[in-house]
Amino acid sequence: MTDDSHPNAADPATLLADLYLDFSGPPPRAALSATLLGGRAPRDAGRIAAAGRLASRLAADARLGIARRRAAFGRITRADPRIDPWLARLVADLALHRASAVARMASAHSMPSAIL
């Protein structure tokens, strides 16, 4: 026996039909994704996890770019990245993406376990 008063008890087609009845035009993307994913909490947890994966992947790409740039130009650029503007940009990108990945990981660990 299911409890019909709970919003997640209905089938997805009913939830989508109700959503489209609530708005005169197309529903906002946030409301549509929350309906399809079963609420705001799973949607937000998925967005946080995706942003963390993206930041980690971008940091890994920056590390690889730095290694390739340093290997291509030898010891001169290894001593001082300020000599090579491209290398300096890669180092700045790495710092930005690493900080973003660490911040996302910290915020994901501070969330209640029911959301994750």
Compute the mean pLDDT over every residue in the chain, rounded to the nearest whole number: 76
User: Is the pTM here over 0.95, yes or no?
Assistant: no
CB of 79 within 8 A of CB of 86? no
H/E stretch holding 10: none
95 or 2, greater pLDDT: 95
**pLDDT computed for residue 75 by the predictor:** 63
Question: Per-residue pLDDT tens for 71-93?
Answer: 887 766 565 667 778 888 989 99
Residue 65 has pLDDT above 80, yes or no: yes
80 or 23, greater pLDDT: 23
Helix pair 12-22, 29-37: axis angle to 10 deg: 160
Question: What is the distance between the alpha carbons of residues 84 and 101, in angstroms, rounded to a whole number?
Answer: 26
**pLDDT computed for residue 7 by the predictor:** 52
Token look-up 């906002």 returns 28
Residue 20 has pLDDT above 90, yes or no: no
45 or 94, greater pLDDT: 94
CA distances from 30 to 2, 17, 47, 103 (A): 27, 16, 11, 23
Token look-up 């026996």 returns 1
Token output for 44: 């937000």
Q: Can you tell me the mean pLDDT for 66-72?
A: 85
